[in-house]
């Protein structure tokens, strides 16, 4: 995902000629989560461009203006860059980034429009919840190389890399219910070669279910879970149900729900009912899920919907 401007994520002190340390950005009041929008009158598009602009402007003047946004408020700050002998350029002593990336799971694709939904939750940053100004992004194929097993108090993780051209698409929404957009090509699922029906929220019930996920290479596998609780009123962050992993094989291999499983489809009685979203840190065998219906609404696949009413769609998962 790419954002508007460049986000401050930390501090990186500059070693001055006299050996002392300095972070002009910190001294000017810039905090992690702040978005740097402009240097003087030039819009910032990337972290490398920001570095170049700071150096160029600082060679002309001692103090430069930065236009920033923090917690929804836009303001201007003045910073005095310092020359860094180690890099040979003027710096303001900040760690920044212009994009976010990670491994997650594609939940569904609507075959006719190629619209997709994934993750089941918003991609956020280490800054304030409202600091990430989504601009655009893309989805690509990934390969799972290894598993860092989860345990009580320690969240596990899928370890992989981006590669291949079998999946590619543009992200146009990043919301509390996931990321959404349109793929450039059709995708296949050997476990479900044909589209399946989608259950509306009132059809989801407590009891046995199945999740689909990848924990080795690109192989999609099915594992048993139990929907333990269905919330009559989903939370604002999309959490709609509590699930527990009951499959001995998945528990042995991953310890339960781990990072990278977000978006894994939850299927009950042959219908897509939701997606895995979060793990309980103190019990990785348990986690949360979001209703598939809520994801469909965000994807624009339930036009004219203003509330959750019975309706059935067919999607490829």
Looking at the annotation, which residues are catalytic? Answer: 121, 247, 262
Overall size of the chain counted in residues: 317
Coil, helix or strand for 43?
strand
Coil, helix or strand for 25?
helix
Placement of tokens 């997709």 in the chain: 116
The rounded Cα 177 to chain-centroid distance in angstroms is: 11
Element (H, E) at 112: none
Degrees, nearest 5: CA angle 108-141-255: 75
- Residue 175 near residue 282 (C-beta atoms within 8 A): no
- Give the separation between CA 209 and CA 223, rounded to whole angstroms: 9
User: Among 105, 128, 98, 83, which residue's Cα sits nearest to residue 2?
Assistant: 98
Coil, helix or strand for 252?
helix
């Amino acid at each position: 995902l790419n954002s508007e401007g460049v986000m401050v994520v930390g501090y990186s002190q500059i070693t001055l000629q006299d050996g002392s340390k300095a972070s002009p950005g910190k001294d000017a009041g810039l905090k992690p989560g702040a978005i740097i929008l402009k240097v003087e009158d030039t819009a910032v598009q990337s972290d490398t461009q920001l570095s170049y602009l700071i150096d160029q402007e600082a060679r002309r003047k001692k103090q430069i203006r930065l236009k920033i946004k923090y917690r929804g408020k836009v303001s201007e700050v003045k910073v005095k860059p310092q020359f860094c002998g180690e890099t040979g350029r003027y710096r303001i002593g900040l760690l920044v980034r212009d994009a976010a990336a990670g491994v997650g799971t594609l939940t569904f694709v609507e075959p006719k429009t190629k619209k997709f939904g994934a993750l089941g939750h918003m991609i956020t940053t280490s800054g304030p919840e409202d600091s990430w100004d989504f601009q655009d992004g893309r989805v690509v194929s990934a390969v799972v190389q290894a598993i860092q097993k989860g345990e009580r108090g320690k969240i596990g993780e899928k370890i992989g890399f981006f590669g291949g051209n079998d999946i590619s698409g543009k992200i146009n929404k990043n919301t509390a219910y996931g990321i959404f957009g349109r793929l450039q090509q059709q995708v296949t699922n050997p476990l479900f070669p044909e589209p399946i029906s989608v259950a509306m929220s009132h059809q989801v019930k407590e009891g046995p279910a199945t999740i689909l996920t990848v924990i080795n290479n690109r192989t999609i596998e099915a594992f048993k879970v139990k929907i333990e609780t269905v919330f009559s009123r989903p939370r604002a962050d999309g959490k709609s149900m509590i699930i527990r992993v009951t499959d001995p094989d998945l528990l042995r291999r991953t310890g339960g729900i781990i990072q990278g499983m977000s978006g894994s489809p939850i299927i009950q009685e042959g219908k897509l009912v939701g997606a895995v979203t979060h793990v309980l840190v103190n019990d990785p065998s348990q986690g949360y899920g979001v209703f598939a219906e809520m994801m469909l609404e965000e994807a624009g696949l339930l036009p004219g919907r203003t509330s959750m009413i019975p309706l059935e769609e067919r999607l490829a998962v």
